[in-house]
Amino acid sequence: MNITLPEDFNTLCSIYQINPENLIQSFVNEVSFPSFYSRPNDTDRWATYFFLHFLDVEETKYDVNEDMEDHYLRRFTDVLKHNFENHFDDVSKAENDGRDVMRQWHKAALAERARYITDNL
């Protein structure tokens, strides 16, 4: 990974003596739809907010299959809703079930990409 560290970021890391790698690691650790949507009251939501903001501003530049996105995000939301209504106390279950849907989405997206390549052979 090769990224440019701008001055303001560098200054802060230097003042607080934070290793930029550690900070970026802790940031990416918190980017998660399953955690974000299953724990609306937690305080570790900022990284995912940033991700959503990034999508809001930049999504048109990235190629995503919108029908697939709709399908899996609907399922994801339904699964969390179901958990919220039936297993209110078990937040980890909601998070894990949500993660399962994300994995399925991931798999479907990769399969579609592979198909796109093989179809052109």
Partner 1 sequence: MKRINHNLIIVPLEFKVSCMIYKVDPQEVLQVFIDHTTLFDSLCEEYSEGFSEVTRTIAQYVRSKPGGLKKSKALLNCKDIAITAIAGIFRLAKKKRSKVTIRRRQSNAYVNTIFKAMERPHTPSNFLYIDEDSYLKLNKDFCVLSELHSCYPKDYLEYFMSRISAAEEHARSAMKKPNTNFTFDFFMKVANGLGRDANEKLNLSEHDVDFYERMAELRLELYNIRNLEERTAILRDFYQSHYQSMNLN
Site residues (vs partner 1, CB under 8 A)? 33, 37, 49, 52-53, 55-56, 59-60, 69-70, 73-74, 76-77
Nearest to partner 1 of 66, 119 (CB atom)? 66
Task: Give the span between the Cα atoms of 24 and 111, in whole angstroms.
Answer: 30
Nearest to partner 1 of 52, 108 (CB atom)? 52
Nearest to partner 1 of 13, 109 (CB atom)? 109
Task: Give the span between the Cα atoms of 48 and 92, in whole angstroms.
Answer: 18
Selection from 35, 54, 52 nearest residue 102 by Cα: 35
Helices 20-29 and 7-15 pack at an angle, to 10 degrees, of 100
Task: Give the span between the Cα atoms of 99 and 96, in whole angstroms.
Answer: 5
Q: How far is the CB of 95 from partner 1 (least distance, A)?
A: 14
* Residue 51, number of CB atoms within 10 A of its CB: 17
Q: How far is the CB of 53 from partner 1 (least distance, A)?
A: 6
Structure tokens, 115: 């198909």
Q: How far is the CB of 49 from partner 1 (least distance, A)?
A: 6
Q: How far is the CB of 121 from partner 1 (least distance, A)?
A: 33
Nearest to partner 1 of 31, 73 (CB atom)? 73
